[in-house]
Amino acid sequence: MTRKNTPPSKMQSEAPPAPVQEQVEETPFEAVASICSVLVIGLFILTFLCQNFVIPSGSMEKTLLVGDHLLVDRITLAPPAGWMPLVRYREPRRGDVIVFLKPGEPDMFLVKRLIAVPGDHLHMRNGIVIINGVAQSQPLAAPTTPDNYRDYLDDFPAVPMSADLGATEAWAVTMPDYVKDGDLIVPPGKYFMMGDNRHNSLDSRYWGFVPRENIVGRPLFNYWSFKTPEDQYEQTGLANSVSWLGHVALHFFTETRWSRTLHVIR
């Protein structure tokens, strides 16, 4: 007996049509909400966690150069906060590079190296820093030579500071109160800062101790460095700003210090 062949089209059910994917367009309100979310997160990071700073002077050469752009950790050295229990907090240590607010000028940020902590006895002899009777090895600091020796800087605090030497009047008056047996004694809650470019740095030798509450943070790394004249950041005016932006755009590739990109600060 023969079987009548059924056409394949009759044996198999027809495949269901592919679903039509609808494209949902983002509404203007949703777009604005997304942008605001990014801005809020960025503002939170820049306000509480990290912040960018640019180096305007040569007081920390060769560690930091004019035109270095730093990302600064604002949280590690901050007072511990209960709302961020996973953050590792610590106190500032000798040798840390620190960003802080200059004493007496709350709108001026400075960056220096922390030399002495509360309770330390400090003096300098021919440019060598001596803490608690022990000479410190500071290979990143500019050395003292017969050509750059200055007694009130290199044998601090043996030579009394005065306003005519560049010290602030308040520090020139109060510094002797902290000197005992030739040592400057750092009081509780205060820190002593110096620039690595020791003979071109207005630091604690000129204006005194930095209070703990003035410490902002610690630079992590240099995310961009551009060759910049030391007086550039002192220039004001719209014309100068536009001219400098044009210079940066024109010479971005040739005057960026590529070897310092993502350079870790130590």
Catalytic residues: 59, 112
Residue type, 139: P
How far is it, in rounded angstroms, from Cα 11 to Cα 23? 36
Q: Among positive and negative, which fits the CA dihedral 217, 208, 108, 57?
A: negative
> At a CB cut-off of 8 Å and minimum separation 6, what does 193 contact?
98, 100, 110, 112, 113, 114, 115, 203, 204, 210
The DSSP call for residue 204 is: H
Give the Cβ contact number of residue 18 at 10 Å.
Answer: 6
Exposed, middle or buried: residue 117 (CB in 10 Å: 0-12, 13-18, 19+)? middle
